[in-house]
Amino acid sequence: MDPRAGQVAQPDDLIDVDQVVGAYYDIRPDVEDPAQQVAFGTSGHRGSSLDGAFNEAHIATITQAIVEYRALEGIDGPLFLGRDTHALSLPAWQTAMEVLAGAGVTVMIDARDAYTPTPAVSQSILIHNGAAAEGGVRTSGPGQADGIVVTPSHNPPRDGGFKYNPPHGGPADSEATRWIADRANDLLRAGGLSRVHRVSLDVAVAASTTHRHDYLSTYVDDLANVLDLDAIRESGVRIGADPLGGASVDYWGEIGERYGLDLTVVNPQVDPRWAFMTLDWDGKIRMDCSSPHAMASLVQAMRPDDGGSAPYDVATGNDADADRHGIVTPDAGLMNPNHYLAVAIQYLYGGARPDWPSTAAIGKTLVSSALIDRVAAGLDRRLVEVPVGFKWFVPGLLTGAVGFGGEESAGASFLRRDGRVWSTDKDGILLALLASEIIATTGRTPSQHHADLVARYGESWYARVDAPASREEKARLGALSPDQVASTSLAGQDITAKLTEAPGNGAAIGGLKVTTSDAWFAARPSGTEDVYKIYAESFVSADHLAEVQAEAKQVVSDALA
């Protein structure tokens, strides 16, 4: 823990925007260096221009690879292109435009020349492909649309990110991203920029294939079909929405005005340096709305120094592309993401969505809290436990087989009120507004509802620990097998399962999960950073959690030895 965690960033913490953008154009990546190759993690290619990991050559070749992938898959409809507020997002968006226009791809850009949240791109893809029609979404055949979002999500200001959403509207699966990454790296080896046909930005923007699309109105006008906004307005719930300098900044203001909500945009400032942010746990600026350190300013605003009442009934935060949510209540402060997911599931399946299919399952990632398992059992709903990555929820959300999909890192989405698909990517705006609906319809905060769940299912202690790991170490960790856990017990309890495949879909988890009746741990390498992660939870005590973590660390140490 950095001693300045939770404190406002100082000038020395801020990036030099000109330097970061200059490096994007000036540095030529060394494709023989694995750290400078194109590599898609759980949500796109990410890296910093300063490290030779996110540069013009990367984006040009990735975009060219996507053009070729579209042709291979017969995707000939429009491509919806959005970007967030990171310094590298505009240059990368411009490079992508030049390549897409050069290839004759029909591109839908923002009508306001503004920022576009990830969920708005997903929703626009799905609407084009039939989500609002009786026949359902088309993911094959002529005219189908797909999309690109230029964002590294909650990553620090020095980073850039680039992710592809195929016609199903959600994150591309591993097969697609592997093909795109391999083709992009082949192009880099063969000459990089010289292997990609592109036109100038002026020509690209003026091209007959480039069209303006009103992402904001498309998204905001449709929200009433997924949330009970009338109840929120009529109850007078006071909402404080903090975009954290991200792409949702204009959306929150429009939502408040369009639906007559008592909604205040807490901080409308956009600054690619994020000078107003408080530092995260490691002393870095990171727009992680699930972190109490990154959200310190909003949490403090809900606890006035003069001891008066909180200014809002609920305050919310989003990351830079608004695919994650943070929920702050007057009675509990920033909610643990796992706690809020469990509350949202109990609320939605407990009677708030009577028109959802009775067979709609609950989706969770295998590193999310086991409280969700207990809530699902109490609701008598099928639980689908999948590997880390929102892409695993896409098929179920698309068909309505899964009503809600959520992951422990504060990303989730759920169906429209009539049971049809809303978005197949994470929607932080949606989950933030759901907190207001819960208050409006029940008269109680999400944190109070969580206390009810604890009383019924027991209190748990949950933690994630990150530690540095080389690519070689990450590879060994990702290949862990049940045989490498010789013990039959974990922290004094009998082991009930040793998993290397997710029970919900049989997909490899890229690590190992060990469970008992009252505890579990999972160890896996990060897909986007050179670290490994140990997740653990105990329904016994904090001390018991520490025992679980100690034994989990030993398993990892043995694997990396």
pLDDT at 530 over 80: no
Render pLDDT for 426-468 as a digit per residue (tens, 0 to 9). 999 999 999 999 999 999 999 999 999 999 999 999 998 888 8
Q: What is the mean pLDDT of the chain?
A: 95
For residue 474, being part of any structural domain is answered with yes
pTM here? 0.95
Cβ(281)–Cβ(5) below 8 Å: yes
pLDDT band for 486, please (50, 70, 90 cuts).
confident
The whole-angstrom distance between residue 279's C-alpha and the CA centroid of its chain comes to 20
Judge whether 323 and 123 are in contact, CB under 8 Å.
no
Mean pLDDT value across residues 216-240:
98
Question: Is 409 part of the annotated catalytic residue set?
Answer: no
What is the per-residue pLDDT for 500?
93
- Residue 64's contacts (CB-CB under 8 Å, 6 or more residues apart) are 99, 103, 183, 184, 187, 195, 196, 197
Q: Which residues pair with 147 in a beta bridge?
A: 80, 165
What ranges make up the beta strands (E) of 346-481? 361-365, 383-386, 402-407, 411-414, 461-468
Q: Which two tokens stand for residue 212?
A: 């303006």
Last residue of a domain, one of 218, 248, 267: 218
Distance between CA atoms of residues 270 and 293, nearest Å: 20
3-state helix, strand, coil in the chain (%, to 5): 40, 20, 40
User: In 3D, which of 372, 376, 305 has the Cα closest to residue 336?
Assistant: 372
**Spatial distance between the Cα atoms of 128 and 149, rounded to a whole number of angstroms:** 17
| pLDDT above 70 for 390 | yes
pLDDT in tens, 297-354: 999 999 887 678 899 999 999 999 999 999 999 999 999 999 999 999 999 999 999 9
Mean pLDDT in residue range 131-159? 90
Contact between 324 and 318 under an 8 Å Cβ cutoff? The reply is: yes
Q: Are 334 and 442 in contact (CB under 8 A)?
A: no
> Residue 518 is part of which domain span?
461-560
CATH code for the domain in which residue 141 is found: 3.40.120.10
Residue 534: CATH number of its domain: 3.30.310.50
Query: CB-based contacts of 5: which residues, under 8 Å, 6+ apart?
Result: 279, 280, 281, 282, 283, 293
Determine contact, residues 356/415, Cβ cutoff 8 Å.
yes
- Name the domain count of the chain: 2
Which is more confident, 249 or 474? 249
Report residue 387 as tokens.
């590997």
Residue where a domain stops, chosen among 176, 201, 218: 218
- Domain-embedded: residue 318: no
Q: How confident is the model at residue 156 (pLDDT cuts 50, 70, 90)?
A: very high
For residues 478-482, give the mean pLDDT. 85
Q: Which of 48, 89, 122, 153 is catalytic?
A: 153
DSSP code, position 50: G
**How much is the pLDDT for 555?**
85
In this predicted structure, the answer to whether residue 108 has a pLDDT above a threshold of 80 is: yes
**Mean pLDDT confidence for 388-407:** 96
| DSSP-derived pairing of the beta strands 489-490 and 461-468 | unpaired
- Does residue 240 lie within any of the structural domains? no
Residue 177 placed within a domain: yes
Residue 387 lies in a domain: no
Residue 555 falls inside a structural domain: yes
DSSP label of 35: G
Q: What digits encode the pLDDT tens for the residues 197-219?
A: 999 999 999 999 999 999 999 99
- Given a cut of 90, whether residue 58 has pLDDT beyond it is yes
Amino acid sitting at position 93: W
In a domain, residue 403? The reply is: no
Model pLDDT, residue 113: 97
Which of 218, 245, 261 is the last residue before a domain boundary? Answer: 218
Q: What is the pLDDT of residue 528?
A: 63
- Rounded Cα distance between 161 and 40, Å, is 10
Q: Which DSSP string corresponds to 373-399?
A: HHHHHHHT--EEEE-SSGGGGHHHHHH
278 within domain boundaries = no
